[in-house]
Structures are given as structure tokens and as C-alpha cells.
Structure 1
Amino acid sequence: MSTPDSLLKKENTKSVESISKVQLIIVVSDVGDIQYVSSTCEALLGYARADLIDTRLENWINSEDLYLIESLIYQPSHQTHCYFRMKRKDGTLVWMEAVLSEVKSSTGEEKEIVLMLSRTSDYQNSTNQERGTTIAMPTSQRRKNEDLQTDEDYSAYDLIEYLPNGVFIFVDGIIKYVNEAGTSMLGACHKEQILETSVYEYIEENYHGIVEKRIKSVQQGYRVGQMEQRWKRFDGRAIDVEITSNHTTFKGKPASFVMLVDISHRKSFHKILQNSRERFRKLVQNSIDTIGVICEEKWTFINESGLKMLEVDNYGEIFGKSIYDNLPKDDFEKIWQEVHEQHNGTKLPTFEQEWKTMKGNAIHTELVGIPTTYLGKDAMQVIIRDITERKQAEALMLQSEKLTVAGQLAAGIAHEIRNPLTAIKGFFKLLEREMEEKKEYFDIIESELSRIELILSELLLLAKPHQVYVHPVSVHSLLKDVTTLLETQAIMNNVWFDLKLKANSPTIKCDENQMKQVFINLIKNGIEAMPSGGTIYIDTEESGDEVVVTLRDEGTGISEDIIKRLGEPFFTTKTTGTGLGLMITFNIIKNHHGTVNVTSEVNKGTQIEVRFQKA
């Protein structure tokens, strides 16, 4: 194989150093419109800033170099460095070295490209045509020595032949040289499969236009910088490569010295990260709970559920707004302190917190805070669940229980008072006949007795049962709702629920609210019977035409004598009880044609078995 001239001769190629001093800054939109130009524009190009702003960047770049800048701005790439010629007001062209950086908006929907420009230090006129137009063009000052030692020649050749990256030499798009790594990269068995073939056979078609211009520019001595391309192997598989092109000669002809780095694994890894990020984004955005990030006492992120919870129409109404618009300052500072005091591995605390929406409505929530950072600053990620409806349901059930207890209590009081009152009124009538001279006193007493009777009648009216709505209800749904409602109280008392809902047809006809009241009372009694904590076992099964619900605790148990009195009004073993809870519970079960059986063993626990007819 012929050895490339440039690989057999020493070269002293002057490289362009990194920009040490930016001479011109231009900011363009993602479609190439110039939005900002630094004040040095007039000194460098001869144009005033106003001449360039709101115009297209391509209007100020030599047409032959447009493909260089287009490959950076209009195509996604990791390339951030290039060279091109810009037009001066006096008609000349000046070579510029550009470093690009991308700036995105907070939403990621808009971006701007910042070009930091400097005149290249390596420029001179190289052709008569270029001298006529005074184009400053970078060239390589080569010093040739025809008397190189043979061992030195082959040492340089071996160095390139066995580089880990692919090395190619193109002359007018035809591959004249490829090293071992390049052969392996394209999946060829030997170099002859590649030599003397067109480079365009291996490059995806949408890159052909840019590659043709790059080859032409390199062979003319221009610098073109790095570029990412997609090449095809002999087995048909596509690979992503990063290309660096430089000018050289091959057998006296201008050529391109090209180095390829296979970045397929890097691109695949980037894609995996991007897919993972996209899955995480969808998970966060579609969560039914609010997920947000708070930094420096302001909202910096919130998902769709958060917008609905806080009653805002778009992200602009919440991003950057103070958290104190939704949360009292003292409450937020307490949450922030507790969250950031948590050590790694410690269970994160849950807070019950009332929030205020942007429309001024109050909502009740459960909140978990996670310490994090945002742009290098301490921040807090919050997961918020709206429990307003649950709180309202708890309040309604509590109110319902209070009304029921008040009614039962009123009935008991009314009956207890009415009996002696009847006797008093009877004897009062007898005395009235014998003491006519004090009749006005008797009138007053009779009026007050009538008033007492009226009050008792109102108490009995309160004790009358409310209208019920009997319909088919799943016992399993009832038990799940009740255990969810009592879960917080159970956890606070170190009590756990063990549900084994095995009934295949657990539907009964009942008033749903009253039946919930039954299981709430029974389970609450079980929780209170275990001051040291334990487990409440809740089972369902079928027995003929009946659905059987069994509740078993691990409490202190009760004796047979006390079991016989359960359900009696005003009988209780609790220091603060009224004895009405089980009375109400047993009455509801009885009104639904159900039965209840209580068994217990002291110091082992109590079991309550409730039976209802299937719907």
C-alpha cells in the first residue's frame, strides 16, 4: 500500500489556540435571527449594532461558509467550535473563530445561541483571487524535508496505523487510506474493501451536502472544526461518529486527513438517559398527587395536579411566586427545618397542613418533604395529597355520631324524667282541688310543668330515627373505606389491620352510612382495647345465605359477666365512655336483620362475629 506523503514527512502545522479574549458577542434565536450584538461590532466589522440586530445571521457570513454554522445552529450536535468568514463593511472578509453555547428558557421550549467570536491569529492571503479581495484565510505553513530517516518515517506511519480511532484520507471524496481501527469501525474484513471507494457510500444521505462542502473547504486549507455524522457499516448497521478534518496532501494532491471517533455507545447512553428522564417526567406530570420543588421560599416547579390543587390556569401564575401565598410563614419554616434535619435513611415525616389556593380557598393536605438542591441551592421537593374530601367525610361521620348519641341520650333522659313528672302532675291536680284559695300559685306550677313536657317532646323528636336508604352494598368496600378512615388513628396507637376478604359474594342490603357507623364503632373499640398496640384481624366469608364478618383484636379481653351486659344503655368499662356506642351499633345490626356474637378470653383478645343476609 502506498504510504501517504503527509504521514512520511514531518510537519510544523500551526494550530489555532483557544480563544483567550472574546472580541465580539452575538446572540441569535433558534431560527437564526440576531437578537443582540456587542458594542465591539463597529470596530471589528465596521457596522453599527443596529445594522445587525433583527437581521438573519446568514446575511453576514460568507455564502461558502454557511454550511459550517448551519451544522451547529440548525442540527442537534455536541459541536461547540467552528471557523467561518464574516463580511466587513469595506467589502473584505475576515476569518472568525467561534465558540457557541446554548441557553434555554425555564420551560425548555425556547433557546438562544450565544456566539463568542475572535479574529483568528493564523491568517494570510494565499491565492491571487483571494489577494484581490483581501480575504484573510487560515493556512498551514509546512516545512518539507525530503531527507527524512527511514526509521522515523515508519515510526510515524505505525503510530497512525494503530491509533484506536479510525483515520482516513480522502481525495475528492475517494478513500485513499484507512487504518486498522477505521477498517474495523466499518465492519470490513480487509482494507481493500474500503480503499478507492467513495466516502458517500458510508455516510447517510442527509449529510452528503455538508460533507461535500467540508471536503472542498479542507482541501483548500480551511479549518472546519468537529462534526457529528451517521455512517453505515458493511453489515448495514448505523454508527454515530465524531469527525475531525484537517488539510494534508496525498501523492502531491490536496487531501483531507479525517479522524473518526465512534460515539455510538455515548449516543446510546444519552438516549437511555433521555428516555429515563422522559419516563420520570411523565410519571411526575401524570401523578394524581401534587409534586413540586420549592427553593428560596418560591415555587420553581410544580406538576399538572399541583396547578389544579392550587387553582391556577398555567405555570406562569405559580413559577417564581412566594410559597407564603399558599402557606403561613411559621408553618413553612417548621416544615423546612424538620425536613432538612432528617438524616440519610431516616423515614421522612408526614405533615397534615392546611393550604390556601390562589383563589383563596382552604384545602387540607398530607405533605412529605424531601431535601434536595436546585441550581446548587438548598431546596425541598414536596409530595402533597389533597385530603379535603376525607376530612369532610370524617367531620360528617363525627357529626352523625354525635347526633345519634345525642338522640339516644335525649330518649333516655326524656323517658327517665317523664315517668316521675306524670306522677307529680297527677298529685298536683289532687292538691289543686283542696286549695282553691291559692289557685294562682297552682296556675304557675302547671304552666312550668307543661313547659317541661314540651321540652321532653322535643328531645323525643330528636331521638326519632332518620330516614334510611337501603340498597345493595359491598361489605368489602365498606370495610376498606372504614379501615382507610381509621388508619391514621390506628398508626398513632401502633395498631395494624390484617384484612382477609375471602367472601365471593359480599353484597348485602343496608343503609351504607349506618353500616359504616357499625364497623367504625367496633374497630375503634378494638383499637382502644390494645393500649400497647397490636393487630386487628378482619375476615369475611360466606356461610350459606349469609355473609360473615369477623373482627378479632389482641387486647386485654373481657369477662363473661361483662359480655352479657354489652349494649345496655349507659353501661361501659371505659373511664370516659357513655355506654351508648355499642347500644347504637347493636340496634343498627338488629334493624338490618343481622346478628352479632361476642366471644372473648382475658389477656388474649376479643372476637366479634357479625352476620347479614346476602342481597
Structure 2
Amino acid sequence: MLMKEMSTNEMLQRIESLEEENYRLREKLIDNSRVIVELEKLLHEKYHILEGITDGLVAVDHEWRYIYINAATYRFLSKEKEEVIGKKITDYYPQYAEPLIAIKNRGKKCKLSAVLEEYSKQNDRWHEVLIYAVSTGYLFFFRDITSRKKAEEALIRSEERFRKVFQKSPLSKHVLKLSDLTIVAVNDSFEEVTGYSRGEVIGNKCEDLAIADKPDNLMELEEKLLQYERFDGLELNITTKAGEKRTMLCSAMLIEFNDEPCVLISSEDITERKRFEEDLRLSEERFRMVFLESPIPLCVVDTDSKRILAVNRSFENTSGYLREEMIGKTAVDLDFYYDLEDRNGSMNLLGIKGRYQNLEIKLSRKSGETMVALISAESITIQGRRCFLFQVNDITEKKRLEQELLQLARLNVIGQMSAGIGHEIRNPLTCVRGYLQFLKARNELAIYQDHFDVMIDEIDRANGIITEFLSISKKSTSKKELKNINEIIRKLEPLLQADGINSKIEVSFQLDQNIEDLMVDEKEIRQLILNLFRNGVDAMSEGGTMVVKTLKEDQNLLIIFQDQGPGIPEEILKNIGVPFFTTKENGTGLGLAVCYGIAARHNGTIQFDTSPHGTTVTVRLKRLYT
């Protein structure tokens, strides 16, 4: 009975306790239902907005259970709505428990309470998680920051590369704060070039350390940077810690360094290059001076194109061309070579050996005058360009003097011979001629009259040759008087014109009226003029013009004969004036030898200039008229 009552009381107490718990649960359920109703009402009103945002949105109650998830969050969670609604967020993300407890303890509402960053291996995405405490629970915003994180990672890698490149660059690099141009970073090469350590320069200005010789250059650098953001090619002179002067070629650009606008300056030490350039400039200047002012004619020709690149003043004087007329042209364009075979042979020799020395070659001046030159050539390189350097030594006058000396030597030998044997030959011939005349006068020998006449004529011709032979000798006497060469030529003019008419050529006289009288042997000068004139006429074909002119030249008087014949071949030119050398069928070979003798006795010379267009013979007599 007692046990039963106790059981009843116990049951009553249990029932009462259950009713109280049921009431609390019902109140709580009513509260949760009210929250849910309010939240659902709010969500319903803003649903179209919440579902449209790209960030993930999650609402949980105070028990951390999911009560709303927008579409963007499902993509992030990769789960269906039914799987997560009503479940605790910490079931999926236990790491949120700590910040949620901290937020609850702070008791803040409707303010940003926590910021987290999370990485999802499942979809390789980064999200920023923003947690807000609200009256109904907590709101989670998930913002995709993958692009930002990748950019940050790329920036970190870039900065790491920058640090490596910056520190290990062979160029000197330093960073200046744009606001006051203080140094905030330097690399190893900067320390090596300047001699300053990082600790000595960081926080200081270049001009404070006397590194920059001209602070104005730094101001110019700053102005250009503000205008162009970067530029290259500024030369700065610096002074190292040891006091050594260095020249730096700088480039600069604006950068962000430690979240501040700065200037990155990269500098190449060009001190040695500048010294080399200066040495090269001085060397080129010296070469240019030596080249331009050299008394030896010099010419630089491009190896490939064979075009003239440079000539000096002596070359201009020798060739007769101005520099502007030659640059860019070839020797063939300018007809430098008298014979193209000489040009081809010399260039072939250059191609094989790369150089040659003292080749004797005939060249043509701009005036058409021929000259003899010793040419040397050398392969050189000018500013990376392969060239030939030609040295032209004009030996025309030397060759002329040699020819004159040779001629004089020949005349001297012949003169000595003629003086010795002339009379010895003439005396027997005179005796023979006398006997022939005696025999011719005898009646019984009249039938041989014609034979005697032929023999006497031949003896007379031999005597004439001996007379010419004797006239070559310098020992021959000559009677010199003060005469005018023009007057001598005018006296001969009818005879010369007659020779021209007979040969069907025109004769032109160009006599300088300013010439002075000379001490000459008129008879010998007449003979010289006739011989040289007739040689020119004989060399011409019908229809040409033979020119005879006189000219005053310094202390000399010139008698010039210009024909329009085919020129004199080289092998014949070498033998001109040699006694008994002739190209005429009935010539004696003494005419020019006599002319040389006459010129020598008048302290003069004879010069031949020949080309395929004709020959010019110049008799040069010194004015000895006292």
C-alpha cells in the first residue's frame, strides 16, 4: 500500500515535471517558429535579390543550423538543399566553431564580426568568408577571391623574381623614393661599383654622399619620369667612395616599392667604353689628320662594291677630281685606269694576296692627261667595314726625267761616236764622190752616165745622214741669238700649211702673244719644229686637225704639237729618240734623235703624252734670254 502511494506521488511529480518541460519546449518552439516565419517572410521578400547575387549567402540560427542557402552557395558546397537545411554548419566546417563562439561571447549584433579565408581543394577555389551576428542568428557571406589570391601569389612570385633579378643583376640598381629621392634599396652591383655598403646608403641621398657629380641630372631624371614614366640613355657621372670618377649609362622607371611610389634606376658602368670611345675618337682624328694631310695621294675603296669611300687632298690634286665627284663612284666610272687590264690584274692580285706594293700602272687624270703611278694597296677594316687603302705615288715626272737621262746618255754616246767617226767616214766618201765626178766627165764612159748619177746621189744621201748624225752631238756648234719663237713659227707657217694640205688635214696655230724672246739657234729651232710637226702629220689620217701652239709657263716656254692620230704604242714609246729606230718605211731613225739633241743644247726637254685619241708633244725651253 505504501509502495503504491509512493509510486503515485512519484508519478505525479514526474507528470508535473514533464508538463513544465513541455511548456518550455512549446515556448521555444513558438519562438523558433516565429524566427523561421519572420526569416521566411524576409527571405521571400528579398528572395529574388538574394538568389541573384554572385556571392554565397548562408543564414544559420543561434544553434548554428542552416536555415537558408542561396544558389551561389550550393555551387560552392556542391550539395543539394535537402542535404544541408537543418544541419549544423560546423558539421561541414568545424573550423567555424571557434569564431562563432568568440562572436557569441562578444555579443555584437549586425556588425562584421569575423573574416576568414578558405581554400577548397575540391574545386580549386579560394573564398573570403564574412560572418555577421544578427538578431536571428548569423549570416555567412562567401566571396570568390580566387583571382585575387592567384594575383597575390603571382605578385609574390614576381616580387621574389624581382628580388633575385634586382640583387643579382650585373647592372648597378638602386631604388629612390620619389618624394624625396632618398635611397631605399641597392643591389650587389651598386655596392661593387660605388664602394658603398647598403648600410651606408639606405636612407641617404646620392648627392648627400657625393655620389652624383651633378645633382641637376637627378632633377632632370625626376622631371622626365613624371612626364614619361620611364626613359633610357641618361649619362651620369658619379664619384665612388674611393674618389674614383665613373660614367654610368642610366635608365629609370616608376615602380611601387613597399607601397610607395619609387624610381628604379638601372646603371651600366660605361667608363671603360667611354675611354675606349675617346681613344678611338682621338685615334680616328689623328688618322683623319694623317690621312687628309698626307702628301701621298690616298684613297679608301669598299671591298665589295669597289666604290670610293674617302680620298685625301693629295689624291684630289693628283687625279684632278674634287672629293664630291669621286665619293660613291668606282675607278671604272671615273676612267682612272688607262688600260682596264691593269685594273683587273691589280684587283685580282688584291683578291688573292690581300695586298700589293709598287705596281707601276698608267692612270688617266680628269683632264685626260696620262700619268704613271706606283700603286700600293692594303686590306683594312674601318668601323667593321672591309676596305682597300690605295696609295698612289705619281712618278710621271720621275719617268720623264729617267727617259731624258736615258736619252741624254744615248745622245752623249752617239755624240762621242759621231765626233770620232763622222769625219773618218765623210773623208773617204768625199774622195769617192770626187773620182766619180772625174769619171763621169770622160767621154768614153758616157754610156755609164746614169750609173754615175745614182752613185753620186747615194753618196750625197750618206753625207746627209752623216750631217744629221753629227748634229746630234752636244759638241756641235750652234749660233744662238735673241729670237721670238712665234716669229719663227710664222715664217714656217706657209710650209706647214702646205704639208697639211698635201696630207688633207687642217692646221691650227694657237700662239701665246705674251711669250718673251729667247736665246736660240733659229736654224735648229726651225729643224725641231719641222721634224715634230711632220711626225704628227704622218701619224694622222685625212680629215683631222693638227694644232701648233706656244704657251708661257712659269720660267719656261712651251712649244706644243697636238695630233689626232691613234696614239703611240707602249713598245714604240719606249724607243722614241733612239738613233736609227724608225717606224717609217724610208726613215733614217735620226729625226727625233736630232730633236732631242737640239732641245738638250737649248737646256730644254721633250715630253710625249699619248692616248688612243692622239699624241701631245711638248717642247719645254727655259727662258735664258740675257
Kindly indicate which of the two structures has a greater share of residues assigned to helix.
Answer: 2
Structure of greater relative contact order (alpha carbons < 8 Å, 6+ residues apart): 1
- Structure of higher CA gyration radius: 2
Question: Normalized against structure 2, the TM-score is what?
Answer: 0.42
